[in-house]
Chains A and B, each alone.
Chain A
Amino acid sequence: MKVSRKFLNDYIDINDLDIHDIAEKMTGVGNEYDYCGKLVEASNLVIGEVLECENHPDSDHLHVCKVDVGSEVLDIVCGAPNVRKGIKVIVALPGAKLPGGEIKRSTIRGVESNGMLCSIQELGIDHKYLKPEDIEGIHEVNEDVKVGEDALKALNYDDEVIDFELTSNRGDLLSIIGMAYEVGAIYKREVKDIDLSYPKEKGKMNFNLDIRTKRCPLFLAKKALNVKIKESPDFIKKRLIASGIRPINNIVDISNYVMIETGQPLHYYDADSLGDTLVVRDAKDNEKLVTLDNQERTLSKEDIVIANKEEAIGLAGVMGGLSTEVTENTKNVLIEAAIFDSVSIRLTSKKILRSEASNRFEKGLDYTRTYMAMERSCALLAKYADATIIDDICAYDTVDKKDNVIKITVDDINNLLGIELDKKTVIDILESLSFTVLDKKGTLEVTVPSRRMDISIKEDLVEEVARIYGIDNIPGKVPTLPLKRGSYNKFNRLIRNKLTSLGLNETMTYTLIPRSEVHKYTLDEFDEVTLLDPMSDDRSTLRYSLLPSLMMIYDYNSKRNNKDISIFEIGKSFFKREEYGEEERLAILMSGNYKDNLYKEKITFYHLKGIMEELLDSLGYNGRYSLVIDKLPNELHPGSSANINLNGKNIGIIGKVHPNVTKEDIYVLEINLTLLKSFRVGTLSFKEISKYPNIVHDVAFVLDNNITNETVMKEIKKSCGKYLVDISLFDTYYFDNNTKSLAYNLVFNDPNTTLTDEVVMPIFEKMIKDVTTKLNCKLRDN
């Protein structure tokens, strides 16, 4: 909402106030601003009269003028086609600052020039307010303006503007009068009355209103006859420009002017094209209407239309129709001032056009302003369009006019704000906002003015008191609540810390991915969760696995020649089975070098497996998980991938990405953290260390390549029994494609006594016999 200082001054005396002070204080009570300053920034402009105008001796279009600027007569060279002797003009004196630069004394093709004659455009007025002649030539000032006067003042451009960014609840501030009340509350000043007087002509409207929808609680119509369409008076035009609205002609300008002034949008119909009946009803589905902008609109029953007996002639509150538009030839005007359902207007305007008018309907309107705007509109049409106003009115009014009275105590206010205001301060503040306060034995009965439709409960009044008192004046303290230690998701933090210390970089990617990616890297059955109306196909579906996202990150970085990638992410996974659901997942992707290039640690499956083991062990799952080869997603290499199994449940996958997907060696892992977390972990407790020495023996077997390390270890453990306390693989050797050797280091210990080889050797020998028989392999003897 752009507020013109001159316009505002009509309703509250702010002559002595600095515009910036007003803007800052308004911010302090909750009304932020975007811009605050002069309407026109240009300086050093005066009114001059062209005394002489000769052709430039050295140019076919320049003129050499003698211009009287009051204090002196200046020689000025001017290129405008319309410059001529006798006209009054805007003169930028040397030193004037215009948006195009500073004006200096100069010599133009050998002739001295001491200033510039200006067009309106050159003053820095936005293009949208300009007519062609404001751009093409210098501005010709009216005869009655005195030479030597400050040009901006003489032309009514000496205004200041604050452009407020209002909160959506303050529809009442979308009017100069509403702003006046707000400023009045801040500076404790009275709001001035609006002039609604005009000569009334006795007569009958001879017009029928037919309101057929509940979504139009108030509709007023009056007639203005024999209007003269012409330019608006200068002050109206300039105030509209300051308010951000382009002046058109007196009729259109007055409807806009009254809207800005009162906040009530009006619509003017050509009364003669309208006929004698006006209907307000719900639109029909697929009903057609050509709006003012000459576009055919297809309506639905959610829209409200204005119609004559036959067809729709306007979209209520949003845009008028072409057939009843006020034109140059209009003689008689039907004025509409109405209130329509705000939600309906919002939905319709969202489809068709958002305008100053629809914005006000959306926020809700005060019925007293509807009546006020109608009268004000009549007064201005009478005054500035020579209209004859018939005193009859067509009115449909179902508005509930009951006073909005809220009971509140001073304690209610102090208890919510945490301060100690006395009753007088509270009453003063409420009265400064023009609320009426009745003190009934300590309970305040506050009558809220009808314009303040945002106020309905006690807490709203508390806010009014707080904002006028100043929230910055409330001293801060900390809630007095029982001391306790807060809790947080330590599990995820442990994972993050472990993985970053193992050299991985954490990423954060988008939840929304292409639909085609959503079933990748998983064999789980689920229905994908898809947006009704996505921004693009790439962001249409909620992801299940996080791995497609990490693969995209790999691609992005690899294209930039960063191929040493070790990343992870923790994020939500979405699905629909019976119900919609979400789970938390951890995904890891590793490729390229794990360590500095020099040390040649190319990432392998075993790096990722090691990271997985480190992670799970550090979380307390040591010994409870294993890798099993079950069914694997198609995106994984079938020979270098596995399912991660914890206590018999599949909690994730680990492996190499299938060569069909990428030519690079990329290793990935994904674990369902929600599932993992559901497995409880015991507390950390000390285990007694054996006081007796270990006996250590090595053994190596030559086996078929298909026999896994895990199988061998299992057999060794099974055969050795309780004295075997530790076993580790210390060497692998592949003889050929069929046979390999696996060498183990076995540690024996008895916590109760010193073990001797007499005890251990028979166990060891038996183990060798058991393993070689069971696995059909040989002891490696060299």
Chain B
Amino acid sequence: MEDERIVKLKEELESSLNLVKTSNDLVTLKAKYLGKTGIVTELTKNMKDLSQEERVSVGKYASAARNLCNLLFDKKNEELEQELLNKKLEKETIDITLPGNKIKRGSLHPFNKMVMEIEDLFVSMGYDVADGPELETDEYCFQRLNIPLGHPVRDTQDSFYINDEYLLRTQTSSVQARVMEANTDKTPIRIICPGKTYRRDDDATHSHQFGQVEGLVIDKGITMADLKGTLEIMAKKMLGEKTKVRFRPSFFPFTEPSVEVDVSCFKCNGKGCSLCKNTGWIELLGAGMVHPNVLKSNGYDPEKYNGFAFGMGIDRLAMMKYGITDIRYMYTDDIRFLKQFDREEY
């Protein structure tokens, strides 16, 4: 009998709650049932007039009704709150396509990116990176490298002189002489020296300022085979494992024997294209076994020690690697150019 009443109350409450739209409506409805004169409150008002038996029955029903009311009102209240929150959240929707608030990443100059790549490779093979003056003396730039006054090579390295003694270095080979001279205890030398060099030359493929990296190994028993192996590793690590390497005899005053090193054109893989002038090869660097006169000039006995040296252009390598079409881009520093080198490769 009580069950029926509860079921009926539930139906009645639910249909009333369906009409509730705001929390005010809910308060009103709550008062109607649970207020001081509310329907459920009224149930127990005249209890003292009832028999013990009736009292138990009414009490039981009233308690069940109160519980039901609380349950349903709480539930409705939660629903209303959630609805309110949802509306609030909807209003808080942002345009996620607006730009992120960030410090835009900067970039390294491609010249220095190239230098770092070369440095990392050689440092991993035990080479030290050496540095030397850019404002160099004729002695270190030429004389100690077997290029005496009047030597024809001085013509092809047309120089910027400051006076009879000082000039802007035309080649990073000058660091060779300084490192050898300083190494008085004749421990093995393994260095590379990247840096700026200067020659009187300015057109689409030449800049009066450009970069070279010099490599030098001096010890007892160094051979041409060591030079070949080292340069083969370098070419493959820098330009890809499939790179082919070709050695041609050549002439430089500071090395004997001297070689020039070509690599298979990475644009056409050696088939022939405009970059390699249809030869399939691109000239990468010059190298050779250190000339005995250079060893002698810098405090080494050529009968006991020998070594190899190599030198290569940094700008050219960077231009080849990144496909830069004009060397002038490297020095104009157009921000649109610089920003293209804004990430590391791995």
Chain A's closest residue to B288 (CB) is A463
> Would A556 and B126 be within 8 Å (CB), given that A481-B219, A505-B106 are in contact?
no
**A477→B160 contact, CB < 8 A:** no
Interface residue ranges of A27-80 to B (CB < 8 Å):
27-30, 32
In the complex, are the beta carbons of A503 and B105 less than 8 A apart? yes
Cα–Cα, bound, A486→B124 (Å): 7
Q: 1/0 per position for B195-229, CB-CB distance to A under 8 A?
A: 01010101000001100000001010111111011
The yes or no answer to A582 lying at the interface (CB within 8 A) is yes
With both beta carbons as reference points, the residue of chain B lying nearest to A572 in the complex is identified as B134
Interface pair A475/B257, CB less than 8 Å apart? no
- The chain B residue sitting closest to A34, CB to CB, is B277
Interface string of B23-40 (1 = CB under 8 A from A): 000000000000000000
Shortest Cβ gap from B291 to chain A (Å): 7
Contacting residue for B229 out of A476, A512, A560, CB 8 A: A476
B91 close to chain A: CB less than 8 A: no
A477's nearest neighbour on chain B, judged by CB, is B229
* Complex interface bits, B97-117 against A, C-beta within 8 A gives 1, otherwise 0: 011111111111101100010
Known: A466-B249, A487-B128, A506-B108. A459 touches B219 (CB 8 A): no
Measured between beta carbons, the chain A residues less than 8 angstroms from B221 are 415
Q: State A462–B116 Cα separation when bound (angstroms).
A: 35
A530 touching B162 by the CB < 8 A rule?
Answer: yes
A467, A476, A481, A486: the one within 8 Å of B128 (CB):
A486
A567 at the interface (CB under 8 A from B): yes
Give per-residue flags for A735-750: 1 if the beta carbon is below 8 A from chain B beta carbons, else 0.
0000000000000000
Does A689 lie at the interface of the complex (its beta carbon under 8 Å from any beta carbon of B)? Answer: no
Contacting B98 at CB < 8 Å: which of A471, A529, A560, A598? A598
Contact A472:B247 (CB < 8 A) given known A416-B224, A508-B333, A595-B103: yes
Q: Does any Cβ of B come within 8 Å of A11's Cβ?
A: no
**Bound form: Cα–Cα A485–B124 in Å:** 7
Are A343 and B226 touching (Cβ within 8 A)? no
Shortest B25–chain A CB gap in Å is 44
Q: Which residues of B contact A29 (CB under 8 A)?
A: 249
Look across to chain A and name the residue whose beta carbon is closest to the beta carbon of B261.
A471
Query: Is the C-beta of B55 less than 8 angstroms from some C-beta in chain A?
Result: no
Q: Is B232 an interface residue (CB 8 A)?
A: yes
B224, A417: Cβ atoms closer than 8 Å: yes
Which A501-516 residues sit within 8 Å CB-CB of chain B?
501-512
Is A594 an interface residue, CB under 8 A from the partner?
A: yes
Q: Is B125 an interface residue (CB 8 A)?
A: yes
**Complex contact B250–A30 (CB within 8 A):** yes
A318-348 residues with Cβ-Cβ distance < 8 A to B are 343, 346
What chain A residues lie within 8 Å of B116 (beta carbons)?
Answer: 493
Q: Closest chain B residue to A563 by CB distance? A: B335
**Complex Cα gap A454–B150 (Å):** 16
| Distance, CA A470 to CA B198, complexed state (A) | 34
Which residue of A has the minimal Cβ distance to B231?
A: A476
Let me know if B335 and A506 touch, CB within 8 A.
no
- Chain A CB within 8 A of B122 CB: yes
Known: A418-B224, A506-B108. A362 touches B152 (CB 8 A): yes
| Contact, CB under 8 Å: B251 / A168 | yes
A482 CB–B CB distance under 8 Å: yes
Q: Are B112 and A462 in contact (CB under 8 A)?
A: no
A562 beta carbon closer than 8 Å to chain B: yes
* Assembled-state Cα–Cα distance A169/B247 (Å): 18
User: Which of A496, A504, A531, A567 is packed against the most chain B CB atoms within 10 Å?
Assistant: A531
Which of A273-281, A534-542, A648-656 makes up part of the contact surface?
A534-542
Distance of A711 Cα from B182 Cα, bound (Å): 50
Report Cα–Cα, A598/B225, bound state, in Å: 60
With the chains together, A478 CA to B125 CA distance in Å? 10
> Is A243 engaged at the interface, CB distance under 8 Å to the other chain?
no
- Given contacts A504-B106, A511-B196, A416 and B223 within 8 Å (CB-CB): yes
Does chain A have a CB within 8 A of B80? no
Expressed in whole angstroms, the minimum distance between the Cβ of A306 and any Cβ of chain B is: 22
The answer to whether A542 and B135 touch (CB under 8 A), given A417-B223, A484-B126, A596-B104, is yes
* B126-152 near A? 1/0 per residue, CB < 8 Å: 111101011100000000000000101
Which chain B residue shows the least CB distance to A531? Answer: B160
Cα-based distance from A557 to B249 in the complex (angstroms) = 46
B323 to chain A, nearest CB (A): 18
Report the Cα distance A594→B104, complex, angstroms: 8
Contact of A505 among B102, B150, B249, B339 (CB under 8 A): B339
Q: Are B209 and A512 in contact (CB under 8 A)?
A: yes
A682 interfacial contact with B, CB 8 Å: no
Q: A506-B106, A506-B112, A512-B208 are in contact. Are A476 and B257 (CB under 8 A)?
A: no
Q: Are the CB atoms of A346 and B202 closer together than 8 Å?
A: no
Expressed in whole angstroms, the Cα–Cα distance for A509 and B331 within the complex equals: 5
B interface SS class: mixed
Known contacts: A471-B224, A503-B106. The answer to whether A30 contacts B196 by CB under 8 A is: no
Q: Does A500 contact B (CB under 8 A)?
A: yes
Q: A459-B257, A467-B257, A510-B331 are in contact. Are A346 and B152 (CB under 8 A)?
A: yes
* Set B160, B166, B248, B333: member contacting A580, Cβ < 8 A: B166
CB neighbours (8 Å) of A580 from chain B are 135, 162, 166
Question: Are A532 and B161 also in contact (CB < 8 A) when A416-B289, A511-B196 are?
Answer: yes
- B119: A residues at CB distance < 8 A: 488
Residue contact A466 to B102, C-beta cutoff 8 Å: no
User: Residues 155-194 of chain B: 1 if any A CB is under 8 Å from the residue's CB, otherwise 0?
Assistant: 1100011110010100000000000000000001010000
Q: Is A167 an interface residue (CB 8 A)?
A: yes
Nearest CB on A from B261, distance (A): 10
How near does chain A come to B244, taking the closest CB pair, in angstroms?
Answer: 10
Contact of B190 with A481 in the complex, beta carbons under 8 Å: yes
B21 on the A face (CB < 8 A): no
Bound: A534/B131 CA distance, A: 26
A27-B257 CB under 8 A given contacts A416-B223, A476-B229: no
- Which one of B111, B233, B334 has the greatest number of beta carbons of chain A within 10 Å? B334
Question: CB < 8 Å: which of B152, B161, B188 contacts A168?
Answer: B152
**A170, chain B: closest CB distance, angstroms:** 7
**Bound form: Cα–Cα A470–B100 in Å:** 60
A496 engages B123 (CB within 8 Å): no
Whether the pair A486, B190 counts as a contact (CB closer than 8 A) is yes
| Distance in angstroms between the alpha carbons of A513 and B98 in the assembled complex | 43
Does B103 lie within 8 Å of A471, measured CB to CB?
Answer: no
Determine whether A599 belongs to the interface, using a CB cutoff of 8 Å to chain B: yes
Chain B contacts for A501, CB-based, 8 A: 105-106
CA distance A651 to B150 in the complex (A): 43
Taking each of A343, A462, A534, A580, which has the highest tally of chain B beta carbons within 10 Å of its own beta carbon?
A580
Contact: B333 with A474, CB < 8 Å? no
- Chain B hits for A510, CB < 8 A: 208-209, 331
- The answer to whether A595 and B219 touch across the interface, beta carbons within 8 angstroms, is no
Residues of A within 8 A of B331 (CB): 508-510
Q: A168-B153, A534-B160 in contact; A582/B111 too (CB < 8 A)?
A: no
Q: How far is the CB of A445 from chain B (nearest CB, A)?
A: 19
| A164 at the binding interface (Cβ < 8 Å) | no
Partner of A478, one of B124, B161, B233: B233
CB distance from A99 to the nearest CB of B (A): 19
Interface residues of A (CB under 8 A from B): 27-30, 32, 167-170, 343, 346, 350, 362-363, 415-419, 454, 457, 459-460, 462-463, 466-467, 471-472, 474-479, 481-489, 493, 496, 499-512, 529-535, 539, 542, 553, 556-557, 560, 562, 565-567, 572, 574, 580-582, 594-596, 598-599
Chain B interface residues (CB < 8 Å from chain A): 98-109, 111-112, 116, 119, 122-129, 131, 133-135, 150, 152-153, 155-156, 160-163, 166, 168, 188, 190, 196, 198, 200, 202, 208-209, 217, 219, 221-226, 228-233, 246-251, 256-259, 289, 291-292, 306, 330-336, 338-339, 342
Could you jot down 26 A-B contacts, CB within 8 Å? A28-B248, A29-B249, A32-B248, A168-B153, A170-B251, A346-B150, A346-B152, A416-B223, A416-B257, A459-B292, A463-B249, A466-B249, A471-B257, A471-B259, A478-B226, A479-B217, A481-B219, A487-B129, A496-B108, A500-B107, A507-B333, A532-B161, A574-B135, A594-B103, A595-B101, A596-B100
